[in-house]
């Protein structure tokens, strides 16, 4: 196996992670096809006051694959094992896109281990047309690999012609997508494509405060989805950031970090 990137550790030969700073743990979970490096702006913002944990989901970045495809449950179990390994009983958890599916699944299964949760650009019970489109993309990725989907993802996330100040970030994300582990990407995309209904009827069991945070230009992780999830969560709230798309935590980190800080620090002890 190639040498790990600076500051990265490996748990059980599978999960690559970074553990930075001290204080109340803050766990950040990336989306499908991405990697822990997408959280660099949040690490910079929070590691001076928080113990920040970022990791690569199964089959992403520097993390390995499991022998079989365990669906969403496998990604939830990966997070549980990592927190056990790090001796963390409770944490604030932020999940982006598919990472939000994982975070919500973990919170439903292990409510006492989650202080506060942020579901960032989360999907929920897609309309039939959207669901058919994302299932088609999942099937295409299965057939011909991640490169086929990268260009269209960049268009959805950054616009067909990214603004000059976003070109470098868009190309970085394109590189992550195009060079993703094809098996890991395909497995995760299948979970992402079908997982929008995984938590339907279950959000009422969440016992912690939950913020559903998205951008008003994120058509596939829409403000309407966030509002519905918040309405179904006992202590849920929804916030939509004007002018923002799916990659807003990378594109507009100050704006997103302020929203995260306002929410998670509200419950800090």
Q: Hey, what domains does the chain have and what are their CATH numbers?
A: 9-124+199-267 (3.40.50.1820)
pTM (two decimals): 0.96
Q: Are 123 and 225 in contact (CB under 8 A)?
A: yes
Sheet holding 25-29, edge to edge: 9-11, 15-20, 51-55, 25-29, 91-96, 114-120, 210-215, 236-241
Question: Span 18-34, mean pLDDT?
Answer: 98
Is residue 97 annotated as part of the catalytic site, yes or no?
yes
Told to judge if 85 belongs to the known catalytic residues of this protein, a careful annotator would answer no
**28 class by beta-carbon count within 10 Å (0-12 exposed, 13-18 middle, 19+ buried):** buried
Residue 269 has pLDDT above 60, yes or no: no
Catalytic residue among 30, 96, 199, 246: 246
| pLDDT of 164 higher than 50 | yes
Q: Active site includes 148?
A: no
Query: Where does the pLDDT of residue 69 fall: very low under 50, low under 70, confident under 90, or very high at 90 and above?
Result: confident
Active-site residue, selected from the candidate residues 63, 97, 181, 226:
97
* pLDDT, tens digit, 9 for 90 and up, residues 200-246: 999 999 999 999 999 999 999 999 999 999 999 999 999 999 999 99
> What pLDDT was estimated at residue 7?
86
pLDDT, tens digit, for every residue of 94-141?
999 999 999 999 999 999 999 999 999 999 999 999 999 999 999 999
Q: Which member of 30, 60, 96, 121 is catalytic?
A: 121
């Amino acid at each position: 196996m190639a040498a790990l990137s600076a500051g990265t550790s490996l748990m059980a030969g599978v999960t690559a992670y970074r553990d930075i700073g001290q204080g109340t743990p803050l766990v950040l979970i990336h989306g499908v096809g991405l990697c822990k490096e997408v959280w660099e702006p949040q690490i910079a913002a929070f590691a001076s006051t928080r113990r920040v944990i970022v990791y690569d989901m199964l089959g992403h970045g520097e993390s390995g694959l499991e022998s079989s495809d365990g669906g969403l449950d496998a990604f939830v179990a990966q997070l549980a094992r990592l927190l056990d390994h790090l001796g963390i009983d409770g944490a604030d958890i932020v999940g982006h896109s598919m990472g939000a599916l994982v975070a919500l699944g973990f919170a439903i299964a292990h409510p006492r281990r989650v202080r506060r949760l942020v579901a960032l650009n989360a999907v929920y019970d897609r309309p039939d047309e959207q669901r058919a489109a994302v299932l088609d993309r999942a099937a295409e990725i299965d057939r011909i690999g991640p490169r086929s989907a990268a260009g269209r993802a960049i268009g959805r996330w950054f616009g067909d012609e990214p603004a000059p100040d976003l070109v470098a970030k868009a190309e970085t994300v394109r590189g992550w997508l195009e060079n993703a582990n094809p098996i890991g990407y395909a497995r995760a995309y299948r979970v992402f494509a079908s997982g929008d209904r995984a938590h339907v009827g279950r959000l009422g069991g969440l016992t912690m405060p939950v913020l559903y945070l998205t951008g008003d230009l994120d058509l596939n992780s829409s403000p309407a989805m966030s509002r519905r999830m918040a309405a179904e969560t006992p202590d849920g709230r929804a916030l939509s950031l004007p002018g923002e798309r799916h990659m807003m935590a990378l594109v507009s980190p100050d704006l997103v970090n302020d929203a995260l800080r306002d929410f998670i620090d509200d419950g800090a002890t």
